Amino acid sequence: DAGITQSPRHKVTETGTPVTLRCHQTENHRYMYWYRQDPGHGLRLIHYSYGVKDTDKGEVSDGYSVSRSKTEDFLLTLESATSSQTSVYFCAIGPKDTEAFFGQGTRLTVV
């Protein structure tokens, strides 16, 4: 299995609170991605990183920020969680132009 760990695996939080999800890799891959999965929408890209401190937006980036201060960690932050951000969040890693691997997912519920 690719060395990807997402934490936490499950979280329930209240509307308006900040939330940070962590993706940790042991593969030294350059590219890391955050996706969200919702019924009827498949997997949609939130943000991605192509190196330390190099990040860019995906198709559904509003309300989210990311940081990558070292190769192995990619953090996704919801500054002020809303109910529309209730979702399953997946992290993926991979070198560009080759196979990408996904973490186990984080189920986030905003109440």
Partner 1 sequence: GIQVEQSPPDLILQEGANSTLRCNFSDSVNNLQWFHQNPWGQLINLFYIPSGTKQNGRLSATTVATERYSLLYISSSQTTDSGVYFCAVLKAAGNKLTFGGGTRVLVKP
- Footprint of partner 1 (CB under 8 A): 31, 33, 35, 42-45, 48, 50, 56, 58-59, 88, 90, 92, 94, 96-102, 104-105
Helices (H), 6-111: none
Residue the block writes with tokens 């192509």: 50
As measured in angstroms, the least distance from the Cβ of 17 to partner 1 is 24
How far apart, in whole angstroms, are the C-alpha atoms of residue 51 and residue 34?
14
As measured in angstroms, the least distance from the Cβ of 99 to partner 1 is 4
As measured in angstroms, the least distance from the Cβ of 79 to partner 1 is 23
As measured in angstroms, the least distance from the Cβ of 15 to partner 1 is 24
How far apart, in whole angstroms, are the C-alpha atoms of residue 52 and residue 9?
24
Q: How many CA atoms lie within 13 A of 84 on its CB side?
A: 6
Toward partner 1, which CB reaches closer, 8 or 18?
8
Give the amino acid at 39.
P
Toward partner 1, which CB reaches closer, 50 or 80?
50
